[in-house]
Amino acid sequence: MKRWRLVGGEVYDPAQGVAGEVRDLWIEGSKMVSEPPLALQSSFTPVDCRGRVVMPGGVDMHSHIAGHKVNVARKMQPELSLAHMGAGNKRKDWQTSGNRTVPTIIDTGLKYVGLGYTTAFDAAIAPTAVRSTRAELSQLPYLDAGYFLLAGNHHYLLEAAGRGDQAAATRFLGWLLRRCGGYAPKLVNPGGVENFKRHRDGNARDLETPIDGFGSTPRSVIQMLARAADELQLPHPVHIHCNNLGLPGNYSTTLETMRSLEGHRAHFAHIQFHSYGGEGETETAFCSKVQPLVQYVNAHPEISLDVGQVLFGATTSMTGDNALGYYLGRLSGQRYYSCDTELESGCGISPIEYKEKNFVHAMQWAIGLEWFLSVKNPWQVALSTDHPNGASFLAYPQIIRLLMDSAYRRERLREVNPRVLQHSSLPDLDREYSLSEIAIITRAAPARLLGLKQKGHLGPGADADLTLYTPVSDREQMFQFPWMVIKSGELLLRDGELLGAANQGEILELPTGSDVGEEQEFEDWVERHYSFQANQFGV
C-alpha cells in the first residue's frame, strides 16, 4: 500500500474551511488520512510541495463525454477529434493541440486529467442507451464518471403526470435509476421533445402547453419529478434543461420553472442559455435577463446551477432537445442530425461557431460571466461550458482567468461586439474570484451538489484525488498546466508528463439503500411498450 506525505503545500479545501493554509497532507492507499502517530510517519514517502497550491481533484458535474450523441458528433466532425496519446507523452504536446471539442473516450480522460480533473458526469443518457454508454465508460482512463438519466419525456412518466399519480412516478423513477445505473433524473425540454416528434415544428413554449396524447403539461412533469427526487432522497435533485433553450425572451420560462418547484430542490443546467430577454425567435431587443433570475436564485438556496459558459471558436451543439437541434440546424445552415429515442427522448446535433463580433454570441459570452459574478453564494454554482455546447472543457482555465482578473475581463470586453455594453451588466461587475472560490465552483460545490461525500475535499476518508498547481500571476496558465495530479493515491501526472498505466476509474452510481419501486410492475410495462423484450432493458 502506497503512503504519501505532501509536505508544505498551500492548501485550498473549502469544504474543510481551509483557505491557503500551509500544511502537510497524508495519503494511505486510495484515501486521505489524518496525521499518523510520529512512529509511523517515516513509512510515508515525502513529496516537497512547498510553493505549490494544493486543491482536491476537479469535479465536472455537467459534461457530454460518452453515449450515442457524442459518438455521432465524433463522426460528424472528425477534424475535432484527436487520436489517442498514451502515457509518457508530454502533456504540453497534446493538451493544447487545437480546439478538440469531441475527443475520443481515451483522449477525454487524458485531457481532463491534464487539467487536474478526476471526476466527470455525462448529463444526458437515454435509458435504452446505458449498455453502450457503460461499455464506452469502461474505456475511460483515470476519471471516475457517472451519468444522469433522461426522464422528462419518458412515456411512463408522462402518463403518470397526466393522471396525477405521484406515487407511481416516484416508484418508477427509483426503479429506472437503479435498473439503468443512473445517478440522477434529467429533464430536457419536458414535453417539448415529445411534441416535436409528433408534429412538424412541435414544441412546448410554456409550462402549460399540452403534451399531445398524455393529458400532461411541462409544469406537471417538472413538479412530479422534483417531488419524486426528494421523496427518493436522491443525493442530487432533478437536473433541469428548461423549455425554450436559446430563444430570445426565454428567461420568463426559466423563472416560471423555478417558481413551479414550490420549495423542492432542483439544479438548473447551463443557465446561461436560459437567461435571454427579447421577443420571439428573433434578435429583437435581445438582452441579458440574468438579474431577475439571479435575484430568485440568491433568495432560494434549494436551487443550484451550472453556467454553460460560451467561449469563442468552433464547437459542436449536442443535446437531448431535438427540437432545439433542428432549430439550430436551420438557423446556421450547417449539417444537422436528429434521432428519436423510442418512448424516451430525442437527440439533435449540429456544428456551431461562436464569433466575437456576432452580437448574439458576444451576449451569450457576457451573460455567462454575469451569472458567475452575480450569484452571491458560490456553493450554488458549478463551472461548466456544457461541454461541448458552449465550448470545450479545455476552456476552463480561460474562464478562471476571466473570473479572477477584472482587468483582463475588461480587455476582452473591448474586443467583442460593442453593443454588448448597452445590453449586459457585465461592464459594471468588478468582482474577482479568489482561489478559494475557484476551488468551490470547480471542486467542492459540484461534489456537494452531487452528494459525493468522498469527493471535493481533503479530509480523512476522502478519495485521494488532488491537483497541485504552481502559482503564477497568469491564472489561465496556472490552471492549464498543473504541476501534479494524484488520483486514488496514484501519481498520474508530474511536470507535464503522464506516468504509469491509464487505469479505468469507477462508474459512480446511487448509494445502496435508495428507495426503488417493485421491479415486476415496471418490467411488465416495459415489455408491453418497447419493441424488444424487457430483459434487454437497462444495465
* CA distances, 282 to each of 203, 206, 276, 288 (Å): 17, 17, 11, 14
CATH class of 1-86+102-142+434-504: mainly beta
The pTM of this model reads: 0.94
| Residue the block writes with cell 403518470 | 160
pLDDT band for position 183 (cuts 50, 70, 90): very high
pLDDT band for position 96 (cuts 50, 70, 90): very low
Res. 520: pLDDT tops 90: no
For the stretch 216-264, pLDDT in tens is 999 999 999 999 999 999 999 999 999 999 999 999 999 999 999 999 9
Interior CA angle at 484 toward 483 and 489, to 5°? 170
Task: Give CA–CA dist 189/513, Å, rounded.
Answer: 30
For the stretch 135-168, pLDDT in tens is 999 999 999 999 999 999 999 999 999 999 999 9
Task: Give CA–CA dist 17/444, Å, rounded.
Answer: 11
Report the pLDDT value the prediction gives residue 534, as an integer from 0 to 100: 45
Report the pLDDT value the prediction gives residue 514, as an integer from 0 to 100: 52
Query: What residues have CB less than 8 Å from 520, skipping those under 6 apart?
Result: none
Query: Does residue 511 have a cis bond before it (omega within 30 degrees)?
Result: no
Report the pLDDT value the prediction gives residue 83, as an integer from 0 to 100: 47
Q: Check residue 440 and report its DSSP letter.
A: I
What is the average pLDDT value for the chain, to the nearest integer?
91
Contact 338, 322 (CB under 8 A): yes
Q: Per DSSP, what are the bridge partners of residue 185?
A: 149
pLDDT band for position 327 (cuts 50, 70, 90): confident
Put the strands of the sheet holding 303-306 in their side by side order: 58-63, 117-125, 144-150, 185-188, 239-241, 266-268, 303-306, 381-382
For 74-92, give the DSSP string.
HHH-GGG------TTSBHH
Pairing of strands 117-125, 144-150: parallel
Contact 469, 438 (CB under 8 A): no
Q: What are the φ and ψ backbone dihedral angles of 449, each rounded to 5 degrees?
A: -65, -30
Report the pLDDT value the prediction gives residue 533, as an integer from 0 to 100: 45
pLDDT band for position 20 (cuts 50, 70, 90): very high
